[in-house]
């Protein structure tokens, strides 16, 4: 019996002396493990007389519980010590530079949209938008396309199944429907306020669709439309505005040339070419003696103005439309149009632009 007192004193001393969790566990196993000192004494209970067992059993149990408690208390202390030691050794150096977080990049098409908005914004243009899914009226009829014009044909236009009214919606084949929507909104505002039609100066960047696919054509592509309507706007304004645009866009002095052309919604119509030269594999925009076509333009056709209730004898103006994908390829030396839409992470990282240095009206292109 006195033996138990001795065991308690000795084992508790060993528990309190354990300097780490592994040592504590050794002490615990030696006393309370399956073959531990206390467990072995427990086994002798079976061979005792009932009287001995009544006396000895509770004492032995109490010893076991006390030792278990002592182990738990010591474990808590040791665990806290271990945690404190770890905290002390794993100091964070807040002066170290942060590890870089990968950020996304701005797609060259979005970049060119932003650049166009800045350059035209400088000239007083606002940005307008319209839906990708259009009606025949906005995409063709209001733009003075004759009823049997080949562009309405299935070969160029993606049509939807006819709706309940029998009319087929379509994916807009150009951004020119935004001209009509902008004019209509301006006419409505004028009617509401009773004032004269306000001058219009907008560009409309957006997605366009044609059933066409090869090395230089994708079924979805991008355009920037422009529309200016006022009382005294003439072809000279059109030429000056677009010449200024290309030089600002290519950030160099660019030669321009206007060739007569035909669009149903402009009269007269023209295509604008820009000068370039080829140096080895490289295309240099600006001077040189070669010409490439980059946009369509013209004075807004009187029938277009009439289709939205604007009097062409009072108001006139010009419109233009250009392919953004090709402008991006030319400016940033991107060889293949199809890569624009491949979502290749490496390509996007290489040709993409920093979201933190997007062009804006106050800083211009070189922000
Ligand atoms: N919408 C024409 C096209 O897609 C471009 C254009 C727009 C031409 C405005 C003249 C005026 O080809």
Q: How many Å separate Cα 154 from the centre of its chain? A: 33
d(CA 237, CA 278): 30
Asked whether 176 lines ligand 1 (CB < 6 A), one says yes
Asked if residue 188 and residue 146 are part of one domain, the reply reads: yes
Residue 364: inside a domain, yes or no?
Answer: no
- CA nearest ligand 1 atom 2, residue: 321
How far is ligand 1, taken at its centre, from the CA of residue 138, in Å?
A: 14
Asked if residue 20 and residue 135 are part of one domain, the reply reads: no
At 256, which CATH number? 3.30.930.10
Q: Which two tokens stand for residue 86?
A: 């770890």
- CA nearest ligand 1 atom 7, residue: 321
| Number of domains present in the structure of the chain | 2
d(CA 215, CA 340): 12
Asked if residue 80 and residue 14 are part of one domain, the reply reads: yes
Compute CA distances 4 → 41, 52, 231, 252, 347, whole Å. Answer: 10, 14, 113, 99, 79
Asked if residue 261 and residue 197 are part of one domain, the reply reads: yes
pLDDT of residue 365: 81
Contact 123, 233 (CB under 8 A): no
Asked whether 221 lines ligand 1 (CB < 6 A), one says no
Asked if residue 254 and residue 129 are part of one domain, the reply reads: yes
d(CA 265, CA 301): 5
pLDDT of residue 366: 66
d(CA 172, CA 170): 6
Q: What is the pLDDT along the chain (367 residues), one digit of tens a residue?
A: 558 889 999 999 999 999 999 999 999 999 999 899 998 888 888 888 888 888 888 989 999 999 999 999 999 999 999 999 898 888 888 899 988 888 889 999 999 999 999 999 999 999 999 999 999 999 999 999 998 887 777 558 999 999 999 999 999 999 999 999 999 999 999 999 999 999 999 999 999 999 988 878 899 999 999 999 999 999 999 999 999 999 999 999 999 999 999 999 999 999 999 999 999 888 999 988 999 999 999 999 999 999 999 999 999 999 999 999 999 999 999 988 999 999 999 999 999 999 888 888 777 886 5
How far is ligand 1, taken at its centre, from the CA of residue 263, in Å?
A: 7
pLDDT of residue 309: 97
Asked if residue 72 and residue 116 are part of one domain, the reply reads: no
Mutate to test the pocket of ligand 1, among 205, 229, 321 (most ligand atoms within 8 A of CB): 321
Residue 96: inside a domain, yes or no?
Answer: no
How far is ligand 1, taken at its centre, from the CA of residue 327, in Å?
A: 15
How far is ligand 1, taken at its centre, from the CA of residue 323, in Å?
A: 9
Asked if residue 68 and residue 207 are part of one domain, the reply reads: no
Asked if residue 160 and residue 85 are part of one domain, the reply reads: no
**Ligand 1 atom index nearest CA of 296:** 8
- CA nearest ligand 1 atom 4, residue: 174
Of 34, 62, 89, at which residue does a domain stop? 89
pLDDT of residue 312: 97
Asked if residue 261 and residue 185 are part of one domain, the reply reads: yes
Asked if residue 309 and residue 277 are part of one domain, the reply reads: yes
Residue 68: inside a domain, yes or no?
Answer: yes
How far is ligand 1, taken at its centre, from the CA of residue 297, in Å?
A: 6
Asked if residue 144 and residue 79 are part of one domain, the reply reads: no
Residue 228: inside a domain, yes or no?
Answer: yes
Task: Find the domain containing 347 and state its range.
Answer: 108-351
d(CA 315, CA 331): 35
How far is ligand 1, taken at its centre, from the CA of residue 301, in Å?
A: 12
Residue 322: inside a domain, yes or no?
Answer: yes
Closest to 178 (Cα-Cα) out of 238, 131, 113, 231: 131
Residue 99: inside a domain, yes or no?
Answer: no
Asked if residue 57 and residue 127 are part of one domain, the reply reads: no
**Ligand 1 atom index nearest CA of 226:** 9
pLDDT of residue 317: 97
How far is ligand 1, taken at its centre, from the CA of residue 174, in Å?
A: 7
Asked whether 320 lines ligand 1 (CB < 6 A), one says yes
d(CA 113, CA 223): 9
Residue 42: inside a domain, yes or no?
Answer: yes
pLDDT of residue 244: 97
Residue 43: inside a domain, yes or no?
Answer: yes
Asked whether 143 lines ligand 1 (CB < 6 A), one says no
Of 59, 89, 119, at which residue does a domain stop? 89
Cis peptide before 75 (omega within 30 of 0): no
């Amino acid at each position: 019996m006195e033996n138990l007192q001795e065991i308690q004193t000795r084992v508790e001393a060993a528990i309190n002396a354990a300097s780490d969790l592994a040592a504590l566990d050794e002490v615990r196993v030696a006393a309370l493990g399956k073959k531990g000192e206390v467990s072995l004494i427990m086994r002798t209970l079976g061979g005792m007389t009932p009287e001995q067992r009544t006396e000895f059993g509770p004492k032995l149990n109490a010893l076991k519980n006390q030792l278990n408690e002592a182990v738990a208390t010591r474990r808590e202390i040791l665990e806290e010590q271990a945690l404190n030691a770890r905290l002390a050794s794993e100091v964070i150096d807040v002066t170290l530079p942060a590890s870089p977080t990968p950020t996304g990049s701005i797609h060259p098409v979005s970049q060119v949209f932003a650049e166009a908005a800045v350059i035209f914004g400088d000239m007083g243009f606002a940005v307008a938008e319209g839906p990708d899914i259009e009606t025949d009226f906005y995409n063709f009829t209001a733009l003075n396309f004759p009823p049997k014009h080949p562009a309405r044909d299935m070969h160029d236009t993606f049509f939807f199944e006819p709706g309940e009214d029998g009319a087929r919606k379509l994916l807009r084949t150009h951004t020119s429907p935004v001209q009509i929507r902008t004019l209509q909104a301006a006419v409505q505002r004028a009617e509401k306020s009773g004032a004269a039609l306000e001058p219009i100066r907008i560009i409309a960047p957006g997605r366009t669709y044609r059933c066409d696919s090869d090395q230089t054509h994708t079924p979805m592509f991008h355009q920037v439309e422009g529309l200016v309507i006022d009382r005294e706007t003439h072809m000279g304004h059109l030429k000056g505005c677009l010449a200024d645009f290309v030089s600002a866009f290519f950030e160099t002095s660019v030669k321009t040339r206007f060739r007569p052309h035909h669009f149903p919604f402009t009269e007269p119509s023209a295509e604008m070419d820009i000068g370039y030269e080829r140096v080895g594999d490289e295309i240099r925009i600006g001077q040189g003696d070669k010409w490439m076509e980059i946009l369509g333009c013209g004075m807004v056709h009187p029938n277009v103005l009439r289709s939205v209730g604007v009097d062409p004898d009072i108001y006139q103006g010009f419109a233009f439309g250009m392919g953004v994908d090709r402008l991006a390829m030319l400016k940033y030396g991107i060889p293949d149009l199809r890569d624009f839409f491949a979502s290749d992470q490496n390509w996007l990282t290489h040709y993409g632009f920093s979201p933190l240095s997007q062009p804006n009206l106050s800083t211009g292109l070189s922000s």
